[in-house]
């Protein structure tokens, strides 16, 4: 095929592409000139009220999408206690959709009379009326909401709690957690308040050992006489009885 013939065969495709591009440009111009934000939609949430999201977003209805600073909208909404992140999206009909990701408590901080939830990132969260969470109690950390908990001890406790939640059995059998410089992560069992030593790191394996120990020993012998179960070692479980 000659170069001239090749160019002729490409001409219809180039014409079609230019037409589509032109239509898209015209559509965009029409959308920018005529479409306005008439509604703000929010996905289903557990801790944050939709009205609080809309109030924080502070979007005047009737505003044109190109006059809206979505980065500022995101920053305002992310100031809410339980909001972790926000992804805004303007639909073709002008509706503004806010896809909100919430923070989830992993423990309830106890410090004297103070009470605050905390999430996996160390962010303290207020207790909301009617939104009580079934999470372990965590001792040894301030309940002031001024900053994020970033200490090495909290990271150890956080890793333990996340593994316990995934494990399921560990989450169901533990009521309280703390960190000790010598013993590492220390938990208290729901049943009889037995002290459980989990040490540092490798929590998945240690939780498996706790599950096996519970199934083989506690189920047959009972837990009433046990005072402490030491799970810090990979190849043995050491118990102390009353």
Report the candidate in 132, 127, 128, 155 with the shortest Cα–Cα distance to residue 143. Answer: 127
| C-beta separation of 85 from 101 below 8 A | yes
pLDDT at site 31: 45
Alpha-carbon gap, residue 154 to 107, rounded angstroms = 11
Task: Please report the pLDDT score of residue 119 as a whole number.
Answer: 96
Residues 127 and 83 in one domain: no
One domain for residues 142 and 63: no
The mean pLDDT of 48-71, rounded to a whole number, is 89
Whole-number Å distance between alpha carbons of 99 and 97: 6
- Asked if residue 39 and residue 130 are part of one domain, the reply reads no
Kindly list the distances between the CA atom of residue 83 and the CA atoms of 23, 47, 57, 140, 176, in Å, as whole numbers in the listed order: 39, 9, 12, 25, 26
Where in the sequence is the domain holding 35, given as residue range(s)?
3-102
Task: Give the SS3 label for residue 166.
Answer: helix
pLDDT of residue 237: 86
Q: Which CATH number covers residue 11?
A: 3.10.20.310
Which is nearest to 164 in space by CA: 189, 195, 139, 127? 189
Distance, CA of 199 to CA of 184 (rounded, Å): 4
* 200 phi and psi angles, rounded to 5 deg: -125, 140
Instruction: Indicate whether 96 and 127 sit together in one domain.
Output: no
CB 23 within 8 A of CB 37: no
Q: At what angle do helices 50-57 and 70-77 cross, to 10 degrees?
A: 130
Task: Report the pLDDT value the prediction gives residue 8, as an integer from 0 to 100.
Answer: 52
One domain for residues 228 and 119: yes
Mean pLDDT of the chain: 86
Distance CA 83, CA 77 (A): 7
Q: Could you tell me if 61 and 37 are in contact, meaning their C-beta atoms sit under 8 angstroms apart?
A: yes
Identify the domain boundary among 38, 70, 102.
102
Quick check: 79 and 56 in contact, CB under 8 A? yes
User: Number of folded domains in the chain?
Assistant: 2
**Whole-number pLDDT of residue 28:** 47
Helices (H) and strands (E) counted in the chain, each on its own, are 7, 12
Of the three residues 102, 121, 136, the one that is the final residue of a domain is 102
| 59 shares its domain with 160 | no
22: pLDDT strictly greater than 70: no
Query: Is residue 223 domain-shared with residue 114, that is, in the same domain?
Result: yes
CA distances from 202 to 40, 131, 139, 174, 235 (A): 45, 32, 22, 18, 13
The answer to whether the CB of 233 falls within 8 A of the CB of 189 is no
25-43: pLDDT as tens digits:
444 444 455 677 788 899 9
Q: Same domain, yes or no, for 91 and 122?
A: no
pLDDT digit string, tens, across residues 164-210 = 999 899 999 999 999 999 999 999 999 889 999 999 999 999 999 99
For the entire predicted model, the pTM comes to 0.81
- C-beta atoms surrounding 231 within 10 Å: 23
Last residue of a domain, one of 52, 73, 102: 102
Residue with tokens 């037995």: 194
Shared-domain flag, residues 79 and 122: no
């Amino acid at each position: 095929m000659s170069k001239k013939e090749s160019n002729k065969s490409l001409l219809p495709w180039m014409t079609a592409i230019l037409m589509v591009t032109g239509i898209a440009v015209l559509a965009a111009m029409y959308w920018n000139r005529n479409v306005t934000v008439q509604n703000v939609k929010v996905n289903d949430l557990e801790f944050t009220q939709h009205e609080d999201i809309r109030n924080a977003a502070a979007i005047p209805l009737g505003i044109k999408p190109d006059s809206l600073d979505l980065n500022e909208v995101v920053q305002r909404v992310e100031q809410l206690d339980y909001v972790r992140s926000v992804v805004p999206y303007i639909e073709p009909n002008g509706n503004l959709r806010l896809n909100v990701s919430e923070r989830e408590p992993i423990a309830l901080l106890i410090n004297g009379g103070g009470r605050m939830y905390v999430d996996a990132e160390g962010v303290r969260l207020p207790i909301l009326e009617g939104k009580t969470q079934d999470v372990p109690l965590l001792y040894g950390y301030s309940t002031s909401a001024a900053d994020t908990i970033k200490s090495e001890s909290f990271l150890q406790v956080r890793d333990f709690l996340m593994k316990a939640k995934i494990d399921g059995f560990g989450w169901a059998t533990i009521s309280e957690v703390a960190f000790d410089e010598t013993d590492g992560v220390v938990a208290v069992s729901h049943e009889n308040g037995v002290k459980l030593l989990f040490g540092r790191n490798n929590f998945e394996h240690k939780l498996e050992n706790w599950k096996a120990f519970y199934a083989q020993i506690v189920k047959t012998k009972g837990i009433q006489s046990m005072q402490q179960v030491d799970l810090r070692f990979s190849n043995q479980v050491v118990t102390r009885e009353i």
